[in-house]
Chains A and B, each alone.
Chain A
Amino acid sequence: MKRKSLLMFCLFLVVAWLSGCATFETEKKAVPYRLTAQGTVIWEDEFEFLPPPPDWKLLRVETGENDINFGFTRSDPGTFPSMTTFAYDEEPFGCSTKFEDREREFFKRFLFNAILQFQVLEKKKVQVLGAEGFEVTVEGKDPIKKEKVRAKVVFGKRGERIVGFYITQWRPIDGTYDLSAFEVFDRFVKSFKLLKKSFYETL
């Protein structure tokens, strides 16, 4: 029988229900990207993608672990909370490497502080990052705050791990969604290329 080594790894933990929350913060220092003649962006020599139009502002998501998370945001016409944000996330909520399981895990925590009731509008397999991925479109409503959000999440594979793209568009409960923003997101996702192996693939 194969003998397992006894390397043990202990964590002394404080049960903090909200630990690991990402916070959005606009990056103040110079960003590590360059534009190509083809109009795409090369990000840290690791990713290449088609950027959104100039009215979208760049976002970095601070994780504290140097994982790559970035996206774009845009204020939309109309009253609060009218805005749209989309992002690439190396470590979307959840742990599973199977798309269906990861979707379930992800939506347990996605926008958890907004306390929304989500309705799944569409689920389908898609091509992303050169392989099969999984796309889920949902709408969440908060009748107390009188707000709603339409969101699309695309899961893809980077090596053995699942990465994610997501867009959220917030509106007052009686507001109208601007689906053209989702087309911008779709172009971003479709254009997204991995230029090198991730840290985890090199171990």
Chain B
Amino acid sequence: MTWYLRPAGEVLLAIAAAPLAAPLFAGWIAQCRAWMQNRSAPPLIQPYRMLHKLFQKEVALATDASFLFRVTPYVLFATMVLAAAIIPTVATGLPFAQVADAIALIGLFATARVFMALAAMDVGTAFGTLGARREMMIGFLAEPALLMVLFNTFLLSGSTALPRLVETYRAHPSLIEPSLLFAAVAFLMVLLAENARIPIDNPATHLELTMIHEAMLLEYSARHLALMEWAASLKLFNYACIGFALFLPWGIATRATSNGLGLVIAVASLAGKLIVAGAALALIETLSAKLRIFRAPEYLATAFILAVLGLLVHLLLGGQA
């Protein structure tokens, strides 16, 4: 009778935990940024308040919007939730862990991006198509760099499955080597570009002509907008967790330590890492300015070359594939 309760509970927990936690991370970054810029900070739960407010409102839907426009917020949210369930955030033995490896995860993010771009083109406004074009451009520039980062980590562990990667690192801490430093910097640059952060895009901008991500949301309102915003904060959370799995795997519960204490440690270490990462992101955003859109290729090419350098360092130092 109860044999299915435990797996079902695990699945539900894996699906529900990340979406509930992700807005907190976004709120923490906003708070840090406000402190660093000498503004009075919004409360930590501000993103939840905004979601709550948006869910209460009535949707104002453009007359010409098709089903694609209405389905996209749900699809976007679902892909991000599923991605969070696949990434080893706290443990390597999560129920969805084997559904997709890191490359398929990139593919999942690409699906979300394509849906968002198509929805932005659906109503046929000038800003929507502009945002869609720019977003797809950033996408095709970032993907090669991201893949080269994964190549680096694959060479060390022989696997593109993130849980396996974490377990290999935990089993052989000596595997961590200089090539990963290059890869980590490249990954950070890709993370900033993919999540519409400064220096590529400014999440707090009100100037339509410079928008990328925000321009695609202009026609959305109420619950649709809430889901889109929620998905965006989840995406940032997901990227941060991929970064932890690739470069800072300490604390994640492996098969050996997957008991109560291990999970508590894992959750605590994840929280600690997120706090530090959020502050670091806020610092980067405070210290740098937004680039012109046509400087974006240079920026992402730099990320790509860093990742390739990491690869060459690994191969030249005689590492075994």
Q: Do A and B bind each other?
A: no
A residues touching B (Cβ–Cβ < 8 Å)? none
